[in-house]
Amino acid sequence: MVPRLSVSSIILSATSITLLTLLSGCGGNASNGNTPEVGTEAPSETWLDAYATSLSQIEQQRQASAREILDNVPENERPALQEVRCDQPESVRGFSRNLRRGLVNYCDRVAEIIEAQNMTVEEFNEMRDRIRQDPLLENQVMQRLVQLQQQQEG
């Protein structure tokens, strides 16, 4: 059974993911041409829906991974997780083999989620950057996230 997201957890995922800030760099796939460049045209409705769907699914994956990963990390090492980035493999050095495996699995799964929505990781990250700079765009994504939650609950 897929865990349901509360509106507050969706808001958390849309603005900042705290425990595992791995989305700060999900990788570097080449653009597939579906995404407008930063600062140019507005994203299409289809693209916003794909982004919001990815974000919702990534939050579910983040919650599941956080529980698993945090069970394997001593309290004093947890702050180091905030420095882990999926596009910086060296950022997992120093962690145990099992923890590195969990972090890499999370990053791989996030990339799969994004790509399943016909976006590249680069496009997803570009949209994340646009949202951080554009409150109107952030509001549009938030509305879509709320709609997705309502559909999951209905």
Task: Name the residue ranges covered by the structural domains of the chain.
Answer: 7-12+44-153
Model pLDDT, residue 36: 44
Model pLDDT, residue 26: 54
Contact 63, 126 (CB under 8 A): no
DSSP character at residue 29: P
Model pLDDT, residue 40: 56
Model pLDDT, residue 117: 95
Following DSSP, what letter does each residue of 81-131 receive, concatenated?
A: HTT-BTTBGGGGTTS-HHHHHHHHHHHHHHHHHHHHTT--HHHHHHHHHHH
Question: The tokens 């994956």 sit on which residue?
Answer: 61
- List the structure tokens of 78: 């947890």
Tell me how crowded residue 125 is: count the other CB atoms within 10 A of its CB.
21
Model pLDDT, residue 134: 93
DSSP character at residue 3: P
First to last CA, the chain: 15
Report CA Rg, the chain: 15
Whole-model pTM: value is 0.72
Tens digit of pLDDT at every position of the chain (154 positions): 333 333 333 333 333 333 334 444 554 444 445 544 444 567 788 889 999 999 999 999 988 888 888 887 888 878 888 888 888 888 988 888 888 888 999 999 999 999 999 999 999 999 999 999 999 999 999 999 999 888 888 7
